[in-house]
Structure 1
Amino acid sequence: MLHKCEGYVIRTVPYGETNKIVTLYTRELGKVGVMARGAKKTNSRLSSITQPFTHGSFLFQRGQGIGTLQQGERLSSTRSIQQDIMKTAYASYLSELLDKSVEESKQDPFLFEFFHQLMSRLEDGNDPEILTAIFEIKLLPLLGYYPTLNQCANCGETEGHFHFSIRENGLLCHRCFEVDPYRFQVTPHTIRLIRVFYAFDLSRLGNISVKEQTKKEIRQVIDSYYEEYTGIFIKSKRFLRQMTSDMWNLSSSNEKET
């Protein structure tokens, strides 16, 4: 059966001397694996359309096993992502996280639209660290995790000063800090942003500016939460963290010199 779907290339794996196995995340069918025959050849009509992060319209034949990609047409440019090493690192992580988080052929038009907006914002130059944090937080319900963010996870109070507890799966108010001595002692602004990101509509994102220290606190909370609860290991994450760490150190060094 032939299918025509809008989608993104989220993973490619070489197969033999000339072929690729391509994982698409599509609006109509969810995650789909297809064989792109001859796509490793530079003169192949499938070569450019099967590059990582490509947003396109894909025509493929699908039966009992893996489908076969027949043709594709690019729908929007991701050139900025493909030509910028930092954007490429973030896009690789986001694509791999999506791949690890969704099941084969499970349709979710809302998640597709969110990922589409995410990649468009990344292409347009929005802060990739903030985009990544929003995506990671909003994926949690899909993965079956619901951190307590509107009240204290221990006593239920909604007013007070809050820290974040990985062990208690959410916020702890100042009355309950002793429940978890290893809680993250983050600022009220960090708590507020985590709450906002959890319920955020990406289409409303403007030019948001977040201090580096706040980003660092958000990153510590999210990384620890994923490590504790999800069990998802992302190969591209180590490379991304090394790059952002190098950028952080370079920025700090430049600030000291000036």
Structure 2
Amino acid sequence: MMRLYKTDALVLRVRDFSEADRIVTLYTYSRGKVQAIAKGSRKTKSRKRGAVQPFTYGNFLLYQGRSLDTITQCEPKESFSHLREDLVKLAYSTYLTELVDGFTAEGEPNEQVFLLLLTTFYLLLKDNPGLLVRAFELKLLNILGYCPQLESCVHCHGPVAGNAAKVRFSSRLGGVLCDKCSGHDPFATTIQMGSLKTMQQLLKWDIRRLQVLKVPEERQQEIAAILRHYIDERIERKLKSTVFLDTVLQ
């Protein structure tokens, strides 16, 4: 097995390791999530310094180690510096990377996750961040097998009344409930039918087409709250980045 390998990657997270080094969490195209050490990257004149900034997209040459891989070379393709310079986009981007980090295990490659995150970073430079992030959440959950049931009742699998103004959504059971089954989760949340239809659109549509979708702010907030609770249930912990995101958006 070749211990030296080359792959495109996105920087999910960076933390200081010593006076000169950093530990970098990468999401790679060919190997999924990887933990690697970037030796000397804290030094001002280090060539690696710019390449291991959060959100950076680049081509990395790594040496596979027992517990940590080592970044030997890195060529940035896109720094996404604008995502770090704008406070709102920084908060959203940090949330996206923590979401990917939290839902994926090391050494499990998934090209769809990589391409979804990369595409979303590019779109964040210009599009409505809130709606884009809602689509990202749903698509990531779908790719990884955690997507909520949105088309039919999660309990009986029957149709959800299309003429109803509201339905119930159960984070615990994993989707919408019809009227007959709404009592199976007393903590299920009421959701407007319009919000449910928007969630269905966000899941199905190409994420690059979202700029043509006009969604009222109140509906966006309802979808955000539903997905926040659903994700917390699935990941079984509170994401740290949501505190920063909520503070910025206040």
Same fold (TM over 0.5): yes
Q: What is the aligned partner in structure 2 of residue 139 from structure 1?
A: 140
- Cα distance in 2 for partners of 1:140, 1:5 equals 24
Partner of 1:165: 169
Q: How do 1:1-258 residues align onto structure 2 when only pairs under 5 Å count?
A: 1-123=3-125, 125-142=126-143, 144-155=145-156, 156-160=158-162, 161=164, 162-166=166-170, 167-174=172-179, 176-177=181-182, 180=185, 182-244=187-249, 246=250
The residue type paired with residue 146 of structure 2 is: Y
Aligned residues: 244
Q: Match of 2:194, as an amino acid?
A: H
**Shift of residue 41 of structure 1?**
1.1
Contact 1:165 1:180 in 2 (8 A): no
The residue identity in structure 2 corresponding to 1:237 is: T
Deviation at 1:70, TM superposition (A): 1.2
- Report the 3-state secondary structure (helix = DSSP H, G, I; strand = E; otherwise coil) of the residue aligned with 1:90: helix
- Once residues 207 and 141 of structure 1 are traced to their aligned partners in structure 2, the CA distance between those partners, rounded to angstroms, is 22
C-alpha distance in 2 between matches for 1:207 and 1:27: 30
Q: Which amino acid aligns with 1:234?
A: L
Change (3 A) 1:205 1:165: closer
1:205 is paired with a residue of what secondary structure? helix
AA matched with 1:16: S
- Residue pair 2:160, 2:177 contacting (<8 A) in 1 also: no
Is contact 1:163-1:183 (8 Å) kept?
A: no
- Could you tell me whether the CA contact under 8 Å between 1:154 and 1:172 is conserved in 2? yes
**1:230-257 deviation line (CA, Å, top 9, x unaligned):** 313311111101221x2xxxxxxxxxxx
Comparing 171-180 with 232-241, greater Cα deviation is found at 171-180
CA distance in 1, matches of 2:67, 2:176: 45
- Three-state SS of the structure 2 residue aligned to 1:227 is helix
Q: Name the structure with the higher helix share.
A: 1
Deviations 1:144-168 (A, max 9, x none): 4342211233451244324132244
Cα shift readout 1:134-187 (whole Å, capped 9, x = no counterpart): 122223245543422112334512443241322443223345555555433322
Letter in 2 for 1:190: S
Question: Residues of 2 paired with 1:153 and 1:22: CA distance?
Answer: 39
Provide the C-alpha distance between the structure 2 equivalents of 1:181 and 1:58, rounded to a whole number of angstroms.
50
**Contact 1:36/1:69 (CA < 8 Å) preserved in 2?**
yes
CA separation of 1:168 and 1:104: change in aligned 2, threshold 3 A: closer
Query: Structure 1 stretch 171-180 or stretch 68-77: which is displaced more?
Result: 171-180
TM superposition score normalised by structure 2: 0.89
Where structure 2 has 5 or more consecutive residues not aligned to the other structure, the ranges are: none
- Call closer, same or farther: CA 1:179–1:68 in 2, change over 3 Å: closer
What letter is aligned with 2:21?
A: N
